[in-house]
Amino acid sequence: MVDKLMNKDQLLRKRDELQDRLDAIKADYGRGLNADSEERAQELENADVLAEISRVTLEELKSIEELLSKKP
């Protein structure tokens, strides 16, 4: 959750942190699945977790962008 009392610099740092997190998730997806079946099974289980982390991160990023658009 985004603290509405954060100043603009804090919001910008948080936005960058969230964008880095999304970039890391995209890179993880981009590597594809491992050839080893056990590793692939673990990666598929982790995909659900990554999808949820991505969803929550995008929501928080949207909130920050909205707050930044209102800050002087």
Residue 3 located in a structural domain:
no
**Whether residue 47 has pLDDT greater than 70:** yes
Domains in the chain, number: 1
- pLDDT average, residue stretch 36-44: 83
Query: Are 65 and 15 in contact, with CB atoms under 8 Å apart?
Result: yes
pLDDT in tens, 12-24: 999 999 999 999 9
Note whether residue 2 is domain-resident. no
User: Is 1 part of any domain?
Assistant: no
Residue 48 lies in a domain: yes
3-state helix, strand, coil in the chain (%, to 5): 80, 0, 20
Which of 10-14, 31-35, 46-50 has the weakest average pLDDT?
A: 31-35
The Cα 14–Cα 3 span in angstroms is: 10
**Domain residue limits at 56:** 8-70
The pLDDT of residue 1 is: 61
Residue 35 maps to a domain? yes
* CB neighbours of residue 65 within 10 Å: 12
Enter the pTM of the model: 0.77
pLDDT at 4 over 70: no
- Domain membership flag for residue 23: yes
Asked whether residue 44 is domain-assigned, the answer is: yes
